[in-house]
Structure 1
Amino acid sequence: MEIDYASHFSALAHPQRLSVLRMLLRRYPDAVPAGEVAQALNVKSNTLSAYLAALRAAGFVTQERDGTSLRYAASPAGLSALFDGFLRECCQGRPDLCRGIGGDLQTKKGTDMPFRVLFLCTGNSARSIFAECLLRAIGGDRFEVHSAGTRPASQLNPLAVRMLAEKGHETDGLRAKHMSEYQNDAKAGFDFVFTVCDRAANEECPAWPGQPISGHWSTPDPVAVHGTEAERMLAFQTAYGMLQNRISAFVSLPLETLDNLALQHAVDDIARKD
């Protein structure tokens, strides 16, 4: 099928339409309610509808109905078809333009260098701390693990720390920290960067050096749950269990043998499993 490159690129030429697409790509594979997109980007509902219609017409966004509401998700396949086709047809497949990004992870194959992983959430007080501790425990020396927040709390959530200690995790040295501590890291960069809360994924963040594999593993915020201590602890247990399942699946991946494209698909598949 012949692609109308001018109209497709035109859909990306509007700054706010591009912001909508970038947010949905950060949340992929989630399908996000239109109201949440509007609130996160401070866009009026009718204006957002026009943006989404243009992006859907270009094949960059999909729509699904959930009861009475509509949810929207980015379409990496649609974007890939546009850019792959453009480079192949318009640029005649020049190897200096069409190399792609499906290489190996940071040249880690065949070495004893650990994969560097960063978990992000907003406060860095519970969910990303859980993920940090879990990967360190399950993955062992294969991984160098860190966590940070886009707007970190002043201290870790006490119930989160208590639960980690009860499960046998080492909690000394854990602290809430801002992601800026890692953005200018003198090391080679991260191999994987995961967001574990929707709010952090909704935010526009600078690109990480080293072109890491990125993933969004949406996890309900246990800190936001109110009620009895038992009800609150149940929320923390639920978040911990979701992350434990995903991290166990991640650790089981043959990271040393998959290229970046296959790894990205595998990380997205893990996000779809609760």
Structure 2
Amino acid sequence: MEKLILTRLNVLGHPGRMAVFRLLMRRLPDAVPAGEIGQALAIKPSTLSVYLSALCGAGLIGQRREGTSILYSARAQAGGEIVDFLFNDCCRGRPETCAPVSRVFREGFPDMSDRKYNVLFICTGNSARSIFAETILRDQAGERFDVYSAGTRPYSQLDPFALEVLKAKGHDISGLRAKNVSEFCAPDAPQMDFVFTVCDQAANEECPAWEGQPVSAHWGMPDPVKAEGTDAQKSLAFQQAYGALRNRILSFTALPLDSLDRISLQKAVDDIARETPEVTT
């Protein structure tokens, strides 16, 4: 095991290979085609092929074929094995020596009995999917969660089809606005307990170093803003996005947050994206 861990550390010591691994970790539980990885990181196909081969060889990522494409996904367990090795070998398993690591990975989720959980949903434009998620969670469980949404490159206005769907579902849209994710990186911003990306493009981008190590997950789905066709066809795409997010949020609010340790909670929020039906109208 020691030889394998040292190989993995050597592979991740290269900035390009580390960038690929970090992107795939952000995209969990998705598997991502090589072309999308290369485009997101501006890496030439020949160079990317070398990086992917090294990461696969070290057991840091896996691959599978789907039609004519090869899809790549991070092996989260491999990262955990590196942390375990360093904790047990370098720190000799002493919690006081590696206190930050032991707190984040080995203790339960922080006690929230004196306040609500803070949740942030992120997409690129913050005009539809993340706005849906913010609104649905606030209306479903606003007594338990303070909910926010933001975009990595937000539009100036919310999408009119999105607003139409929210109004038709009986949601109050008066306080909704597009926001830049930088608002939530300011010193006076609320500290997040959960951060969810709901679009692939946002997940492909570098994430801020969130204070407090929030639980994060990728709940990616197609962008209804890009739907083509008649107004009825476009409206259907927004209805489907709303339904998919509502299903995921209902699964999230049903989790026994107070009784799950961090590892179990991380697995649970990842499983929501894998197991929850994506289309409901």
Q: Same fold (TM over 0.5)?
A: yes
- Shift in Å, 1:86: 2.9
Q: Which moved more, 1:244-253 or 1:86-95?
A: 86-95
The normalised TM-score by structure 1 is: 0.95
Give distance in 1, aligned partners of 2:61 and 2:5.
17
Give distance in 2, aligned partners of 1:224 and 1:166.
21
Q: Which moved more, 1:243-252 or 1:135-144?
A: 135-144
Give distance in 2, aligned partners of 1:193 and 1:71.
25
State the AA in 2 paired with 1:172.
Answer: S
Paired residues of 1:59 and 1:79 also in contact (CA < 8 A): no
Give distance in 1, aligned partners of 2:244 and 2:104.
30
Percent sequence identity over matched residues? Answer: 53
- Shift in Å, 1:85: 1.7
- Shift in Å, 1:100: 4.7
Paired residues of 2:61 and 2:74 also in contact (CA < 8 A): yes
Alignment of 1:108-257 (within 5 A): 108=112, 110-111=113-114, 113-186=115-188, 189-257=191-259
- Shift in Å, 1:243: 0.3
Alignment of 1:21-170 (within 5 A): 21-95=21-95, 96-97=97-98, 99-102=102-105, 103-108=107-112, 110-111=113-114, 113-170=115-172
- Shift in Å, 1:185: 4.7
Where does the alignment leave 5 or more consecutive residues of structure 1 unmatched?
A: none
Paired residues of 2:122 and 2:197 also in contact (CA < 8 A): yes
The normalised TM-score by structure 2 is: 0.93
Paired residues of 2:123 and 2:151 also in contact (CA < 8 A): yes
Give distance in 1, aligned partners of 2:28 and 2:172.
32
Give distance in 2, aligned partners of 1:5 and 1:262.
24
Paired residues of 1:225 and 1:235 also in contact (CA < 8 A): yes
Partner in structure 1 of residue 271 of structure 2? 269
Give distance in 2, aligned partners of 1:207 and 1:2.
29
Give distance in 2, aligned partners of 1:213 and 1:18.
21
Give distance in 2, aligned partners of 1:226 and 1:188.
37
Aligned-residue RMSD, C-alpha: 1.4
Give distance in 1, aligned partners of 2:81 and 2:262.
18
